[in-house]
Amino acid sequence: MMNPDPGTNDNSRYFVQSLAKGLALLKIISAAERPLSLTEIAEKLETNKATATRFCYTLVKLGYLHRMDQKLYDLTPQVLELGYSAICRTDWHEMANYFLRELFRQVDETVSAAILVDTDILYTIRIIKKKILDMDIQVGSRLPVHCTAMGKVLMAFGSPEKVQEVLGKLVFKKMNDKTIVSLQDFLKELEQVRQTGYAISDEEVAMGNRSIAAPLMGEGGYAFAAIAVATPSESYTIARLKKEVAPLLTTCAQKISAAMKQIRPKTGMA
């Protein structure tokens, strides 16, 4: 196996090999699609298990790694502190993507993030388990706000000025028999979303698909984006979505919102 970081081969007396190995370990776990065992970490780091154990123990104690019950290791959100200044120069979705990967592992279903563009939602992140819609939804795809879970939370928790602007232009296109097609029903739905803190789209875009979304809140107290979990209707009833997925989704949204408040503007949050 190739060395995880060519820089660790530096033989200069100023070069701290152990520090380089520790940072290489963080990179290895960050690049992994799932938490890693000590054996896997040692193999990828090209070291023995005893050394890998010492590195992992230290990083757990410092708060940068989490040791799971199955003796697997994964990064913690504290790692983000190391890159806050760099993140400030990037788009907000790079931050969200970190937490959405964790959510994807928890629910094992498709997760997404979107922003409001005109009267549509625009997908900015899409981590797909499998295709569950007849249409091909990917990053850059757009769907109407009135029939999507993310559209509903963006409208329910958006700034009053923006919401009124969208409502003034909104056309309630009927996607199928379950789609909301009147302003009165839509406003009633938004009030329900405000009370629960999340929104559900029950096959309103396409039959066979349900989704649940939560808002990402910015400094002004308004949603600047939304995240969602999409599931096949045959596997998830509305009750199951509320009981099993809603707590994980809303917790993820709160983590992202809290992290974004620490790094402030240059993120498009306002």
User: Strands 223-232 and 209-217: what pairing?
Assistant: antiparallel
User: Distance between CA atoms of 66 and 16, rounded to whole angstroms?
Assistant: 24
pLDDT tens figures, 214-257: 999 987 889 999 999 999 899 899 999 999 999 999 999 998 88
Angle between helices 49-62 and 38-45 (to 10 degrees): 110
pLDDT score of 118: 85
State whether CATH 3.40.50.2300 applies to domain 6-75: no
User: Distance between CA atoms of 10 and 18, rounded to whole angstroms?
Assistant: 12
Q: The pTM is what?
A: 0.65
Confidence of residue 10 (pLDDT cuts 50, 70, 90): low
State whether CATH 3.30.450.40 applies to domain 90-263: yes
184 token code pair: 């009165």
Bridge partners, 31 (sequence order): none
Judge whether 6-75 and 90-263 match in fold.
no
Angle between helices 183-196 and 149-156 (to 10 degrees): 80
Write down the domain spans for the chain.
6-75, 90-263
User: Distance between CA atoms of 79 and 75, rounded to whole angstroms?
Assistant: 7
User: Distance between CA atoms of 124 and 110, rounded to whole angstroms?
Assistant: 14
